[in-house]
Amino acid sequence: MEAERLEQLRAQFSAEAAGIDSESAASALRDRWTGRKSGLLTAEMKTLGKLSPDVRREFGLQLNALKDEVDGRIAELLSGFGARREAEQLVRERIDVTLPGRRQSSGRLHPITLMRERIEEIFVSMGYTIEDGPEIETDFYNFDALNIPPSHPARSSQDTLYLENGLALRSQTSTVQIHAMQRRRPPLRVIAPGRVYRRDTPDATHNPMFFQVEGLLVDRRVTLGDLKGTLGEFVRRMFGPGTRTRFRPSYFPFTEPSAEVDYSCFKCGGAGCRICKGSGWIELGGSGLVHPNVLRAVAIDPEEFSGFAFGLGIDRMCGLMYDLDDIRLLYENDARFLEQFR
Amino acid sequence: MKISYKWLAEFVDVDIDPRSLAEQLTMVGLAVDGIEEIGGDHIIEIDLTSNRPDCLSHLGVAREAGVIMGKPLREAVPAQIDVKGESVSPAAVDVLDPDLCPRYTARVIRGVKVGPSPDWMVRRLEALGQRSINNVADVTNYVLHELGQPLHAFDFNCLAGRRIIVRRAVAGETLITLDGIERVLNDTMLVIADADRAVALAGIMGGADTEITDATVDVLLESAYFNPASVRRTARILGMNTEASYRFERGIDYDIAARASDRAAALIVETAGGEIVGELLDARAQIEARPPITLRLDRFHHLTGLNVGMARAKEIFNALGMEILPLKDDGAVSVKSPSWRIDLAIEEDLIEEIARLEGYDRLVPTLPGGAGAGSYQDDEAARKTLRRTLIATGFHEAISFSFVNGETDAMLSGNHESGLVLTNPVDETQSQMRTTLLGGLLSAVELNINHGTRNIRLFEIGKCFLDDGARPVEIERLALVMTGARNELGWQGAGERLDFYDLKGTIESVGENLGKNSLEFSPTSDIGYLHPGRAAVISLAGNKIGFAGQLHPRIAAHFKFKQPVFAAELDFGAILQVPGLEPRYRPLPKFPTVVRDLSVLVSDAVSWAEIERSILGLNIGELVGVRLFDVYTGSELPAGKRALALSLRYRAEERTLTEQEIGDCHGRVVSMLAREFAAELR
Ligand SMILES: [Zn+2]
């Protein structure tokens, strides 16, 4: 009799469950069958107490099995509808992720600054101190102390810019060598980046103002080999570990012996290309051992101390590194140019 | 300078090909720029440094090539000099200013037939880029390229009194040079004169009156040594630069005058006929003997890191033509440098000679030891922070020329500083050193707008140069300009125009990131280049450090700006001088903060700064923040009034504030505003 009743309930539930087509109908089905107060199965459970112990035990087990079935099926229905609801919501919330992002428009550092910071970082890590000096100079700092003779063409008004008061715009950052050696006694290691001026008419490869980095090291027994090792280390850190250097004899009034320094082309590695004009080498700058007259000009005894100095052109390096076809762009401050550098 | 490979071979046995020769010359300091093949020969272009005038000839380059290859120069074949008739020269030479002309030689060749040069000579000269003129003039050019001695040939019969007088010009004296230009001379210039007048500009160019022409029969050949500084000065004053002046300026070989004269005379006779008459006149002053130079081998080692033996050092010096003097010291060698090597004077010069001929590629790279830690300038961290803050707010870093247009600069000079003026500017319209960075930045804005970039933000850090009477003052400044939309126009909404407060906010962010919290902006109407109602003086710790504002319409019109442009300039050094505040931790609040909003109607003559200062001046301990969140000016408000909406935040550190306490605090603010500013609660 109870078994029949159970089968009847099971069949009735299956029929009802089969007709469920929404999440709310599934919730109603749950209430109707297993609701705490008026659920059909809940009511059946309550009748158990009236049965004889034997029957109760048997019927109880079967009734619980049916309840598990019902709970399982309802949970299945509910989660099915929940998943569908969530899926629908996610579809509704879809956006076009290919639309441009919202961003704070960011500015850029000037390529000269980017290059200068890289150079400074390398030399500071090698024990150098950054220094600066005035851009308007007396003949003493710009020429005399640098052993540039009074008759030297660099002093002429063709080459150097002069003010009405007779002072000159510094034509090289080498002037900072003199200031540094007057401020401090050896040993010293100095890097001086800054603006310099020459009386050049602007064209694709010249500007009347540009940036140099001067390097100076004075100590006991500083050699040409030290200069070569130092600049070799610099170019490897700047242009890559495989970069080679080449030293060629040259002439500058403030160094003796003097050397022109080339490094193997960062583009072609030395095979020859457009950047290095086919030679495989790119000029880095001038260098040499500090001329004894320069040391004497700042009261350093050349028998006791020696030193090396070098000068690198930042604009030139920018031109090569960024492949600029016209160096005048550096000082026109066109946003379309400036925004290209990082 | 151009050198013929085949011509070199007449001086030294060249056993390497042109490319290898070029490579090796470069590596001893004669930088080869290129090689060109012309008519079976190779022309090598050398970019010579100014200390090596001895290499401005085939003889000179042959000497270097000989040293490189370890080959001696061929013995110079003495020129064939057949003096006809009497040995007395028909000419006379009188050097009145031997300080400017320590040596002057002259020789006469009679009966020449001026005409075209032989083909071989024309080809050689043309390969070097030298146009052929006639057989006599060509010989002088030929010998210049061969031996490095500039020569000049006069038409002997055009020389008044048949004499040469070497003297300083008389002020105002004139001379028509070979190029047809009349030169007005002054009394520092050296001329070659005859009995009557100047006939050549010494060491630079001959005169037209005494030029060799087809009619010339007799020639006076000059081979001299002129003072380098004198030639340089004269050439510069007259704006002239010739093959001759180029060499004399740098310094030629004092001893080669006679050899060059012999060589040229023989070549003239060979190519133009005629005969040499009389001896070589050679007027020479005693020139200062150059002292011997001593090299210590250990010094060589100390300066190069290389080891070279005495035998090798002497071998190099010998090859270079030096005379080795007897010396007792085993570790040193004393030499007399040859007449053509005027660049050698001190021990370091000899060290370079050995090093370059041993080869710089033998230098062993070493790193100097004993370095301490390197360091940036003291303010480098602040500079980096500043740059990074500005680029994060959309500013590009600009760099402008230090020289600007003087009138524009004066117009933009907030401090009315006077500028320094260049005597020889590259561009006459840009001849003043800037006293403000704004000229450059505003020109850049103009350029960008012309190129279609209307939203632009630029900053520059750089020096301004002030005329302070005695010595120029260099002040580092920071300037900013901004114009256009706050955000780029995009699909997310129209770009609103930025205004004064964008500029102010940028400067405040900079101040905050540098730890300078006490930046103050106060209204000003007397900065000429700024809008009098939209300008502020910026102060830091009580000192004025700059200005910010909207450009005055007059200035905007000058630059043809059709959109408002905002600009600021600050004394960068003054900012960095004020110490930044280091961050200090404060415990997070343990009790809730209560926010009370307040909207008041006040006169628009009352500045926000006054109101904020007064509220904070109440010193209410529980008041932990005042924020302005709306400023409303609408037509429905009474004239001359604006509505301010503020948000006041209250909190106590040790307890939760009661409604009563908050009400009391808030009431004090409200009544103060009513009392002080006649503020009406809305
Ligand atoms: Zn390359």
* CATH code where residue A193 lies: 3.30.930.10
CATH number for the domain harbouring residue B321: 3.30.56.10
pLDDT in the model for residue B517: 76
CA angle B283, B287, B288 (to 5 degrees): 170
Q: Do A112 and B363 touch (CB under 8 A)?
A: no
Same domain, A264 and A307: yes
Asked, for residue A98, whether it belongs to a domain, the answer is no
CATH of the domain at B526: 3.30.930.10
Q: Please list, in sequence order, all residues whose beta carbon lies within 8 angstroms of the beta carbon of residue A259, skipping any fewer than 6 positions away.
A: A224, A227, A247, A248, A249, A250, A286, A287, A288, B360
- Closest residue in A to B344 (Cα) is A256
A99 lies in some domain: no
Asked if residue B373 belongs to a domain, the reply is no
A43 Cα–ligand 1 center, Å: 93
- Do A54 and A174 lie in one domain? The reply is no
The per-residue pLDDT for range A144-158, each reduced to its tens digit, is: 999 998 878 788 888
**Could you tell me if B356 lies within 8 Å of chain A, comparing CB atoms?**
yes
pLDDT of residue B85: 66
Q: Which of B363, B391, B399 sits opposite A224 (nearest CB)?
A: B363
Q: What's the domain count of chain A? A: 2
Q: Which of A134, A197, A224 sits opposite B304 (nearest CB)?
A: A224
Residues B197 and B96 in one domain: yes
The mean predicted confidence, pLDDT, of chain A is: 91
Residues B297, B279, single domain; the answer is no
- Same domain for B330 and B265? no
- Domain of A160 in residue numbering reads as 111-338
- Restricting to B residues 425-454, those with a Cβ less than 8 Å away from any Cβ of A are 425-426, 433, 440-441, 444, 447-448, 451, 453
**Exposure string over B446-465, b if 16+ CB within 10 A, otherwise e:** eebbeeeeebbbbbbbbbbb
What's the gap in Å between A326 CA and the centre of ligand 1?
Answer: 19
Q: Which pLDDT band, with edges at 50, 70 and 90, does A1 fall under?
A: low
For residue B74, the model assigns a pLDDT of 87
- Give B426→chain A minimum CA distance, Å: 6
Q: Are residues A300 and A191 in the same domain?
A: yes
Task: Tell me: do B423 and B567 sit in the same domain.
Answer: yes
Tens-place pLDDT, residues B508-563: 999 988 888 778 999 999 899 999 999 999 999 889 999 999 999 999 999 999 99
Position B447 in a domain = yes
pLDDT for B477 equals 95
* pLDDT tens, residue by residue, A249-306: 999 999 999 999 999 998 898 899 988 888 899 999 999 999 999 999 999 999 999 9
Both B431 and B314 in one domain: the answer is no
Residues B498 and B539 reside in one and the same domain: yes
> CA of A76, closest CA in chain B: separation in Å?
44
**Range(s) of the domain holding residue B104:** 83-284
Instruction: Judge whether A261 lies within some domain.
Output: yes
User: From the CA of A164, how many Å to the nearest CA of chain B?
Assistant: 6
Interface of A with B in 9-68 (CB under 8 A): none
Separation of CA A280 and ligand 1 centre (Å): 5
What tens digit of pLDDT does each residue of A188-229 get? 999 999 999 999 999 999 999 999 999 999 999 999 999 999
A173 CA to middle of ligand 1, Å? 28
Indicate yes or no: CB of A124 within 8 angstroms of CB of B374: yes
Point out the residue among A100, A129, A229 whose CB comes nearest to the CB of B367: A229
B141 versus B541: the higher-pLDDT residue is B141
Does B203 reside within a domain?
yes
Q: Is A189 on the interface with B (CB under 8 A)?
A: yes
Q: Are the Cβ atoms of B396 and A107 closer than 8 angstroms?
A: yes
Strand partners, B198: B193
Establish if B422 touches chain A: CB-CB under 8 angstroms.
yes
CA distance B463 to chain A (A): 9
Q: What is the CATH number of the domain that holds B269?
A: 3.50.40.10
**Distance (Å) from CA A282 to ligand 1 centroid:** 8
Reduce the secondary structure of chain A to three states and give it as a string: CHHHHHHHHHHHHHHHHHCCCCHHHHHHHHHHHHCCCCCHHHHHHHHHHHCCHHHHHHHHHHHHHHHHHHHHHHHHHHHHHHHHHHHHHHHHCCCCCCCCCCCCCCCCCCHHHHHHHHHHHHHHHCCCEECCCCCEECHHHHCHHHCCCCCCHHHCCCCCCEECCCCEECCCCCHHHHHHHHHCCCCEEEEEEEEEECCCCCECCECCEEEEEEEEEEECCCCHHHHHHHHHHHHHHHHCCCCCEEEEEEEECCEEEEEEEEEECCCCCCCCCCCCCCCCEEEEEEEEEECHHHHHHCCCCCCCCEEEEEEEEHHHHHHHHCCCCCHHHHHCCCHHHHCCCC
**Residues across chain B:** 682
**Nearest-neighbour CA in chain A from B506: distance (Å):** 13
Average pLDDT of the residues in B245-256:
94
| B155 to chain A, closest Cα gap in Å | 34
pTM of the model: 0.86
> With 90 as the cut, is the pLDDT of residue B95 above it?
yes
**Cα-Cα-Cα-Cα dihedral of A70, A71, A77, A80, to 10°?**
-150
Answer yes or no: do B23 and B160 share one domain.
no
Domain of B622: which CATH number? 3.30.70.380
Are A158 and A278 contained in the same domain? yes
Which residue in chain A is spatially nearest to B467 when comparing CA positions?
A165
Confidence of residue B63 (pLDDT cuts 50, 70, 90): very high
* For residue B575, pLDDT beyond 90: no
Residue B583 within a domain: no
Residues B300, B181 within the same domain: no
Same domain assignment for residues A63 and A120: no
Residues of A in contact with B306 (CB under 8 A): 224-225
Q: Indicate the range of B341-350, B485-494, B602-611 predicted with least confidence.
A: B485-494
B50 domain residue, yes or no? yes
Residue A163, in any domain of the structure: yes
Inside any domain, residue A102: no
B264 plus B406 within the same structural domain: no
Based on the structure, what is the number of domains in chain B? Answer: 5
Q: Does residue A58 lie in a domain region? A: yes
Q: Are residues B484 and B631 in the same domain?
A: no
A342 CA → ligand 1 middle, Å: 23
Q: Which residues of A touch B426 (CB under 8 A)?
A: 161, 199-202, 208
- The rounded Å distance from CA A272 to ligand 1 centre is 4
CB contacts under 8 A, A 266-285 vs B, are none
Among B296, B298, B293, B304, smallest CA distance to B352 is for B304
Chain B residues 272-331 within an 8 A CB cutoff of chain A: 302-306
- Domain shared by A232 and A275, yes or no: yes
Q: Are residues A184 and A49 in the same domain?
A: no
Set of chain A residues whose Cβ sits within 8 Å of the Cβ of B351: 256-257
Provide, as residue numbers in chain B, all residues whose Cβ is less than 8 Å from the Cβ of A175. Answer: none
Which of B303, B316, B349, B351 is the best mutation test for A, with the most CBs of A within 10 A?
A: B303
Q: Are residues A22 and A139 in the same domain?
A: no
A224 has a chain B CB within 8 A of its CB? yes
A302 and A229 in a single domain? The answer is yes
For residue A318, list chain B residues with Cβ-Cβ distance below 8 A. none
> Average pLDDT of B444-472?
93
**CA of B609 vs chain A CAs: smallest distance (Å):** 29
Instruction: Give B125's pLDDT tier (boundaries 50, 70, 90).
Output: very high
Do B649 and B614 fall into the same domain? yes
| d(C-alpha B638, C-alpha A167), whole Å | 63
- Judge whether B375 lies within some domain: no
Q: Is the residue at B77 inside a domain?
A: no
Q: Is A187 on the interface with B (CB under 8 A)?
A: yes
Residue of A nearest to B33 (CA): A279
CB distance from A155 to chain B under 8 Å? no
Distance A246 CA to ligand 1 centre (A): 15
pLDDT, greater one: B79 or A156: A156
Of B365, B390, B421, the CB nearest to A228: B365
**Interface size, chain A vs chain B, as Cβ–Cβ contacts under 8 Å:** 242
Q: Is B470 on the interface with A (CB under 8 A)?
A: no
Does A104 fall in a domain?
A: no
B396 touches chain A (CB under 8 A): yes
Co-location of A253 and A314 in the same domain: yes
Q: Which two tokens stand for residue A227?
A: 């200069």
Choose the final residue of a domain: A57, A92, A127: A92
Residue B378 has pLDDT above 90, yes or no: no
Give the minimum alpha-carbon distance from B93 to chain A in angstroms, rounded to a whole number.
29
- Cα A264 to ligand 1 centre (Å): 8
User: Are A112 and B399 an interchain contact pair (Cβ–Cβ within 8 Å)?
Assistant: yes
Pair A27, A169 in one domain: no
Which of B551, B577, B603 terminates a domain? The answer is: B577
Note the pLDDT tens digit of each residue in B649-670: 999 989 999 999 999 999 999 9
Last residue of a domain, one of B525, B543, B577: B577
Q: What are phi and psi of B564, to 5 degrees?
A: -65, 140
Mark whether B323 and B300 lie in a shared domain.
yes
One domain for residues A70 and A147: no
Please state which of the ranges B71-75, B106-110, B337-341 shows the lowest mean pLDDT.
B71-75
Going by their DSSP bridges, the two strands B190-193 and B31-38 should be labelled as unpaired
Q: Tell me which residue in A165, A197, A249 faces B420 most closely, judged by beta carbons.
A: A165
> How confident is the model at residue B41, as a pLDDT?
93
- Residue of A333, A336, A338, A342 to mutate, interface with B, max B Cβ within 10 Å: A333
Which residue in chain A is spatially nearest to B451 when comparing CA positions?
Answer: A334
Partner-chain residue, chosen from B50, B228, B372, that has the shortest CB–CB distance to A251: B50
* pLDDT band of B460, cuts 50, 70, 90: very high
CA of A233 relative to ligand 1 center, distance in Å = 20
Q: Which chain B residues contact residue A107 at CB under 8 A?
A: 390-397, 457
Alpha carbon of A114: minimum distance to chain B alpha carbons (Å) = 11
| The residue to which tokens 């060059």 are assigned | B260
- Judge whether A106 lies within some domain: no
